Chain A
Amino acid sequence: MAFQQLINALVFGSVLTLFSLGLSLAWGTLDVLNLAHGSLFVFAGFLAYELTTHTGIPFVFVLVISMLGAGAVSAAMELLAFRHVRTRFRIKRQAELSFLVASIGASTIIETFISNKTNNTPFAPAPGSFTVHSYKLGSARITNIEIIIVVVAVIVAVVMDLWVRRSRSGRAVRAVAYNDVTASLMGINVNRVAATTMFVAGLLAGLAGVLLAVNIGGEDVSTGQDYLLTAFAILIVGGVGSVRGAVAAAYLIAIAETAVVAYGPANWRDGVAFGLILLILLVRPQGLFSGRRFQRA
């Protein structure tokens, strides 16, 4: 059973990675603590459900369309809400609370829309739209969708890390994260960077949402909220804005939660996981991978 649980932890960690990376991008770059991220995650799953139920579009295209849909909604939130908050409050601390409230509003709208459309009953991509096969791996089993989730998570994490560190646009994102006023003075179009960042964050939420919907076989509007709390913990533990930190923390928490569920009282899952988070923060409050910061006097 241990090997099976290791595989379960790997898959779960990969889902958390995909979910958290988008949130990390928005929070680390734009200081937007986007509480609607979970709703975007579910929205993509809802789009996949609608497309597979009412059309014969192949699953790959369903995935892409659903991701684009989530990305578009995320970009719309930036254009309609977050940008105006950023313009009004030049001091970031003042803007943070307004970002939070705006994201709660957006989340409510998205969730109400999905609730009305689904009558609050569970939904998932239509059976047969993606055929799940199970394979034996020694004493354990793994399905094709789980393999896809792990592979995609690794690829996305590597690409994100390289993009942020090595690419011109990634440097622009980091510049905006450090100081958007200075970045603007250096010729960076902050609004375009912000919109692109939120779009990419939505894409990642959508990717995680569709893959998870296929994997777990059913979700509803509250599913995203369950992952949101864990994702925030991942970002805190990993260090806000750190791709490597988010990935490491995601797998660490996945291992902890899987171990509790498999070998301990399952209803202590959240308690033990967050207890571990508290311990880590006591030792390293800036997060595992966040570098030390110095401020000149």
Chain B
Amino acid sequence: MSMKSLNLRVAALPALVAVVVALAACGSSGSSSSSSGAGGSSASSTSSSAAPASSSSSKLPSTIPVTAVEDLSGPVAYVGKSVVAGMQVAVNQINSSGLLHGSKLVLTVKDDGSQVATATSQFSSAVNSNAVALFGPLLSQEALATAPLAERGKVVDVAIESQVNGLLETGPYIYRATSSQLRFDNLIPEYIAPKITGNKSVRILYLSDTPTLVQAYAQMNAKFKSLGVTPLGGVGVPITTTDFTSLASKLESGNPGAIGILVIGTANPAAITALRNSGYKGLLFGEEAATNGSLKPAGALANGFVYAVDYNPGLTFPSAVAFTKLFESKNPGQIPDGYDATGYDAVNEVAHAIALSGSATRSGVEAGMQDLAKTGGLDGAIGPEKFTGTGNRDLSVAGTLVVWNGGQEKVLKVGNPDLTTQP
């Protein structure tokens, strides 16, 4: 090493130290970012970037900023938009209800474009802002990528829709606002089993590369068996399957009294169409992904299809009725769906946590969420909701059994809200 290069290195060292100290000072200031990530946009931003001013009449500040990073464009945009619509209804209601003693909840929404990199970047900005709680992105890979950021920033992250394993294990600041369908899927065999006439057997089609549906298949099989219905075995297919005509013959072999279709999106109407066009007349049932109008393309062939969801506008819990009426009044001509309900409830959970703890700091929100879990949850758009499971941070709801008829879902049965998993 020459003397010249050594001198350069020595001279650069103080400069480097100064830069590091400056960066550390910026990082700890908690300055907010009002920009959106690459490819995304701020769909609704009513917050200022200044730190919230304190209200003189309450411990809570006059404005309480929260941020949602959601998929408003891309393959699940229709889910993201519904979630945000529900959130905005909740924010408006909370701010006019006096729940927070005059303090105003201010929601900033960012679009991550269904890209993990964008979601991570925006979430990171949100963690570094003055937001006291965050609502995480929808896709499981996004949720898993952003949860550690919330954990490091010690800010509550309410995960929306993602049911992936391992998410809540990231740490105590991660909550899940969507109940796993496995908690209420047993409503389906309970209903279907006594209605099977003739051959008391069932065969189930499921997506072999979707962990939740593999579990749902195993759970339903076991439940049918306990109810005296013989499982004839399952047919696992990859998520890329679009043509079910060949599978229809295989599913019908053994003449099962009922056939289950545990698939996602367009595969639902496609499988139903294939089975009915092949002449199958027995009972058909599915799972939660059949909701949100997915069955419409199958027309009358989908009539009688039974599945379980978390929310339906026909729910009669007082809090669910109140939500349905409120949403319809704020969005004329629109019928709320489960995603609207989830967004509404997620914001309410955070607002109630703040009200319980009396603090709008990040640690106060986290303490309030735990208080909410210990006091039995809340009555939300989906009815009575409890936090249970890992660290009391996993949502549990009663579930609703529905049947598709004439282009609409009709409620058949509601699960027991006192149970965290339907038997």
Residues of A at the B interface (CB closer than 8 Å) are: 1, 4-5, 8-9, 11-12, 15, 115-116, 119-124, 126-128, 132, 134, 141, 143, 146, 212, 215-220, 223, 226-227, 257-258, 261-262, 265-267, 269-270
B265 at the interface (CB under 8 A from A): yes
Name the CB-closest residue of B to A49: B297
Beyond A124-B298, A261-B250, 6 additional pairs, beta carbon < 8 A: A4-B249, A15-B243, A122-B268, A217-B272, A217-B298, A220-B265
Give chain A residues whose Cβ lies under 8 Å from the Cβ of B293.
121
Q: List 7 A-B contacts (CB under 8 A).
A: A5-B246, A115-B74, A124-B298, A217-B272, A217-B277, A262-B250, A267-B209
How many contacting A-B pairs (Cβ < 8 A)?
122
What residues of chain A lie closer than 8 Å to B237, measured between beta carbons?
266-267, 269
- Which of B242, B246, B272, B273 has most chain A Cβ within 10 Å? B246
A119–B77 touching, CB < 8 Å = yes
Whether B246 contacts A122 by the Cβ 8 Å rule is no
Residues in chain A near residue B277, CB distance under 8 A: 132, 134, 141, 143, 217
CA distance A134 to B272 in the complex (A): 15
A residues in contact with B268, CB < 8 Å = 122, 218
**Considering the complex of A and B, which 10 residue pairs feature the smallest CB-CB distances, nearest first?**
A127-B299, A217-B273, A218-B269, A124-B297, A119-B78, A122-B266, A218-B297, A261-B246, A220-B266, A8-B246
Q: How far is the CA of A120 from the CA of B74 in the complex (A)?
A: 8
Interface string of B247-281 (1 = CB under 8 A from A): 10110010000000000011111101110011100
Tell whether B41 is near chain A: CB-to-CB under 8 Å. no
Please measure, in the bound complex, the distance between the C-alpha atom of A266 and the C-alpha atom of B265, giving whole angstroms: 19
Chain B residues at the A interface, C-beta cutoff of 8 Å: 74-78, 81, 208-209, 235-238, 240-247, 249-250, 253, 265-270, 272-274, 277-279, 292-294, 296-301
Main secondary structure of the interface of A (DSSP, over half): helix
A15 surroundings in chain B (CB, below 8 A)? 243
Cα–Cα, bound, A116→B298 (Å): 21
Q: A281–B253 Cα gap in the complex (Å)?
A: 35
Tell me how far the C-beta of B269 lies from the nearest C-beta in chain A, rounded to whole angstroms: 3
The answer to whether A267 and B238 touch (CB under 8 A), given A121-B294, A218-B297, is yes
Residues on B with C-beta less than 8 A from A141 are 277-279
**Is B278 within 8 A of A121, CB to CB?**
no
Residue of B nearest to A136 (CB): B279
- For B81, the chain A residues whose CB sits under 8 A away are 119
Specify which chain B residues have a CB less than 8 angstroms from the CB of A122 in the assembled complex.
265-266, 268-270, 294, 296-297
- Assembled-state Cα–Cα distance A226/B277 (Å): 23
Given A121-B292, A216-B243, A219-B242, the answer on whether A5 and B249 have CB atoms closer than 8 Å is yes
B75 touches A120 (CB 8 A): yes
Q: Which residue of B is nearest A260, CB measured?
A: B246
Interface pair A262/B294, CB less than 8 Å apart: no
The residue that B244 contacts in the complex, of A1, A123, A212, A216, with Cβ under 8 A, is A216
* Partner of A8 from B249, B265, B292 at Cβ < 8 Å: B249
A120–B81 Cα gap in the complex (Å)?
12
Complex formed: what's the CA distance from A146 to B243 in Å?
13
